[in-house]
């Protein structure tokens, strides 16, 4: 048998790389010239892109569209026929590839239009549907995202880009304690790239465990790199869980984090907080003691002790510990969290003016993170409790302008309306907040 010359493969590979680069360059020049009002130059660029790569769907598509825009119907029809010969179904694929370009450039409205156009021409185009799912996820349209995932057919094919983007969005939702949507995205990543889905499968197991799914057991042995990535990720997720009063989920995540990294005082302190918030004060005190033994001024452990003191009715001890937690850190997020807990405790203690000051300081420390939104809405409640309705109204307008669909802001609006005697309007807002 004759032997294949390796140099032939090498030359073919080099030629493909060169042709791809030339095609992409000419395509981008075509878009730029058309946008600059030079459609004839754009047409020449699209033709050169097709010459370099005859199967370039997006170049065929833009050539046809540009000719149609100029009213050159016969040339457009010829280009359409040539495109169908070179790449059957090129229109759907071309719109999909355009959508990906817009998506990568963060032009989300244009990306959505392109993906929808792809689906109009090929309703079973799973990659286009998958990117629409991702767009819904980044917009926090969780219901739309979950519905879209259910409509992606099984065996949709191999696409590492979709797997990567699904994992990235999964991490973002995981950090916000949106565990079930995160699980769905990690599972989607594994479907599109099963051979390289170790990370997605691992974090899906972590998220399932955090959401109370007994089937989601994290691996017993982790490599050092995964530990380094996992611990801060879970720490941030626990923050959201505590702020949003999702204590069981935060506690499960904290338990995972302490198992992964026993020396982590943040994880031990977070676990103490979650346990204290659930009324499990004996366990909480033990974990807080452990954290403070490792780090005598660990703010999360101090917050946990404050929660324990509140649970036993020792308001003064709780406020003392909360002030200690505030004094131990100047870090923006940690200080914001301490001030949030302090503000809530001061409102409960009947000191709304002090609460408003503490929350305002936390708000300044928490900007520009999402943590600030919780402090802003708590300030509304503090000013309402103190009888300063004008200030409460001003802050409420700011909160709703920043995040109109933010459930805590809607609950603050509900409280504001109820305190004004507008019970029907308050019930309407309450129903909207519950639906989020």
Residue 124, in any domain of the structure? no
Which H/E stretch holds residue 11?
helix 6-35
Q: Which domain holds residue 63?
A: 11-88
Token representation of residue 393: 């109204």
Note whether 66 and 39 are within 8 A (CB): yes
C-alpha 87/C-alpha 93 separation (Å) is 9
For position 356, what pLDDT does the model report? 95
Q: Residue 298's pLDDT is what? A: 86
The pLDDT assigned to 406 comes to 77
Query: Please, which residues have CB within 8 angstroms of residue 355's CB and are 6 or more apart in sequence?
Result: 342, 343, 344, 345, 346, 347, 378, 382, 385
Classify burial at 59, counting beta carbons within 10 Å of its beta carbon; exposed 0-12, middle 13-18, buried 19 or more.
Answer: buried
Q: 298: phi > 0 → left, psi -120 to 50 → alpha, else beta; which? A: beta
3-state helix, strand, coil split of the chain in percent (to 5) is 80, 0, 20
In a domain, 54, yes or no: yes
pLDDT (0 to 100) of residue 422:
92
Quickly count: other Cβ atoms within 10 Å of residue 23's Cβ. 22
CATH number of the domain to which 61 belongs: 1.25.40.10
d(CA 110, CA 136): 14
- pLDDT score recorded for residue 147: 92
Is residue 24 in some structural domain?
A: yes
User: Is there a domain that residue 192 lies in?
Assistant: no
Tell whether 396 is covered by a domain: no
CA 377 to chain CA centroid, Å, is 22
**pLDDT of 237:** 64
Query: Cα–Cα distance between 109 and 354 in angstroms, integer?
Result: 44
Is the residue at 69 inside a domain? yes
Rounded distance, CA 39 to CA 55, Å? 22
Sign of the CA dihedral with 303 first, then 307, 308, and 312 last? positive
CA-based R_g, the chain, Å: 28
Q: What is the pLDDT of residue 410?
A: 87
Prior bond to 368 cis, omega within 30? yes
Look at the chain and report how many structural domains it folds into: 1
**Average pLDDT per 10 consecutive residues for the chain, totaling 436 residues:** 56 74 87 90 92 89 90 91 86 90 89 93 90 92 91 81 90 79 89 78 69 54 57 62 65 69 77 82 88 86 90 92 87 82 93 95 76 87 93 91 81 90 88 74
Residue 62 and residue 78 in contact, taking contact as beta carbons nearer than 8 Å: no
Q: Is residue 408 part of a domain?
A: no
**Residue 367 lies inside a defined structural domain of this protein:** no
């Amino acid at each position: 048998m004759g032997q294949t010359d390796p140099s032939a493969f090498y030359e073919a590979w080099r030629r493909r790389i060169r042709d791809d680069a030339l095609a992409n360059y000419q395509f981008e020049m075509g878009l730029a010239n058309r946008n600059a009002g030079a459609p004839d130059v754009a047409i020449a660029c699209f033709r050169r892109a097709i010459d370099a790569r005859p199967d370039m769907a997006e170049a065929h598509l833009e050539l046809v569209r540009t000719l149609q825009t100029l009213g050159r119907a016969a040339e457009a029809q010829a280009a359409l026929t040539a495109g169908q010969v070179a790449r059957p179904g090129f229109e759907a694929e071309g719109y999909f590839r355009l959508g990906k370009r817009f998506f990568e450039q963060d032009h989300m409205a244009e990306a959505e239009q392109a993906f929808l156009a792809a689906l109009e021409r090929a309703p079973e185009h799973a990659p286009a549907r998958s990117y629409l799912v991702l767009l819904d996820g980044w917009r926090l349209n969780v219901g739309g995202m979950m519905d879209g995932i259910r409509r992606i057919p099984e065996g949709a094919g191999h696409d590492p880009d979709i797997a990567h983007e699904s994992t990235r969005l999964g991490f973002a939702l995981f950090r916000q304690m949106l565990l079930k949507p995160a699980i769905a995205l990690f599972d989607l990543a594994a479907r599109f790239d099963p051979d390289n889905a170790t990370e997605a499968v691992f974090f899906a197991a972590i998220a399932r465990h955090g959401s109370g799914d007994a089937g989601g057991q994290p691996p017993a042995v982790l490599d050092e790199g995964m530990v380094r990535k996992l611990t801060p990720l879970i720490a941030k997720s626990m923050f959201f869980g505590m702020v949003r009063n999702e204590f069981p989920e935060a506690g499960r995540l904290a338990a995972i984090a302490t198992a992964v990294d026993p020396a982590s005082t943040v994880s031990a302190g977070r676990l103490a907080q979650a346990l204290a918030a659930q009324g499990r004060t004996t366990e909480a005190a033990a974990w807080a003691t452990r954290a403070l033994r490792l780090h005598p001024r660990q703010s999360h452990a101090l917050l946990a002790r404050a929660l324990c003191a509140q649970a036993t009715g020792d308001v003064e001890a709780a406020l003392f510990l909360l002030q200690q937690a505030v004094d131990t850190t100047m870090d923006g997020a940690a200080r914001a969290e301490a001030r949030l807990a302090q503000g809530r405790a001061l409102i409960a203690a009947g000191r709304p003016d002090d609460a408003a000051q503490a929350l305002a300081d936390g708000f300044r420390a928490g900007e520009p993170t999402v943590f600030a939104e919780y402090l802003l809405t708590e300030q509304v409640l503090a000013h309402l409790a103190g009888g300063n309705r004008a200030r409460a109204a001003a802050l409420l307008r700011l909160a709703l302008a920043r995040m109109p669909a933010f459930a805590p802001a809607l609950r603050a609006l509900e409280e504001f309306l109820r305190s004004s005697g507008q019970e029907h309007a308050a019930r309407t807002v309450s129903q909207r907040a519950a639906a989020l």
